[in-house]
């Protein structure tokens, strides 16, 4: 079964890899950190609190062929967190029912299996007419013109600069420990550090 899932994901992502073709008017990038969301414990979190950091937003799932990427995501987070980098995990059950558990079950799984310490959030839809407002901003051409396109599978990664605007996007098949991911994170952090006022 896992090979079927991996093959399906690979085929899907190969067809949408690179720049995403997306219909609709091209707008200006917006601050995607303008939303209030629920964390995995049900508390309201204003994402604007993370403005000023470089943020990676990832839709995650516990029973996916890419679930093992949690380990590399945690390593990436620990490598750069002291420089102002953060990962936000958003569980979603949109793809083949691969996140069926409750928030409590998801939290326990992530903590016990992968030692996840970056912020995790309540399960949300990332596709379709009911997709969460955050994911509307992330995927629509009017709000994210340079990296728009629907999320096609679990572990799609959006990299957000300190101004809240998306600066890069990585397919599920791109591992968090890939050189291109580290390079993009470092580039975003370097720009932010150079622009930051002296303390």
Domain limits, the chain: 22-195
**CB-neighbour burial class of residue 55 (10 A; exposed 0-12, middle 13-18, buried 19+):** buried
CATH code 3.40.30.10 for 22-195: yes
Q: What confidence tens digit (pLDDT) does each residue in 81-107 have?
A: 999 999 999 999 999 999 999 999 999
> Which of 16, 19, 26 shows the shortest CA–CA distance to 145?
26
Active site residues per annotation: 64
Radius of gyration of the chain (CA): 16
3-state secondary structure of 114: helix
Cβ atoms of 157 and 170 within 8 Å: the answer is yes
Distance CA 135, CA 72 (A): 23
* Phi, psi of 158, rounded to the nearest 5 degrees: -110, 125
pLDDT of residue 21: 42
Per residue in 43-96, pLDDT tens? 999 999 999 999 999 999 999 999 999 999 999 999 999 999 999 999 999 999
């Amino acid at each position: 079964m896992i090979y079927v899932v991996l093959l399906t994901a690979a085929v899907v992502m190969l067809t949408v890899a690179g720049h995403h073709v997306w219909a609709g008017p091209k707008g200006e990038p917006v601050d995607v950190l303008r939303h209030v969301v629920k964390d995995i414990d049900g508390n309201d979190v204003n994402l604007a609190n993370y403005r000023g950091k470089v943020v990676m937003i990832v839709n995650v799932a516990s029973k996916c062929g890419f679930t093992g990427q949690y380990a590399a995501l945690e390593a990436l987070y620990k490598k750069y967190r002291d420089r102002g980098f953060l990962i936000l995990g958003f569980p979603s059950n949109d793809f083949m029912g691969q996140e069926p558990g409750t928030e409590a079950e998801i939290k326990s799984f992530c903590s016990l299996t992968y030692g996840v310490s970056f912020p995790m959030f309540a399960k949300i839809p990332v596709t379709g007419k009911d997709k969460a407002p955050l994911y509307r901003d992330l995927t629509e051409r009017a709000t994210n013109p340079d990296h728009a396109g629907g999320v096609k599978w679990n572990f799609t990664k959006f990299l957000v600069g300190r101004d809240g605007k998306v600066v890069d996007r990585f397919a599920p098949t791109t591992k968090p420990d890939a050189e291109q991911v580290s390079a993009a994170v470092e580039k975003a952090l370097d720009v932010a550090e150079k622009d930051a006022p002296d303390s």
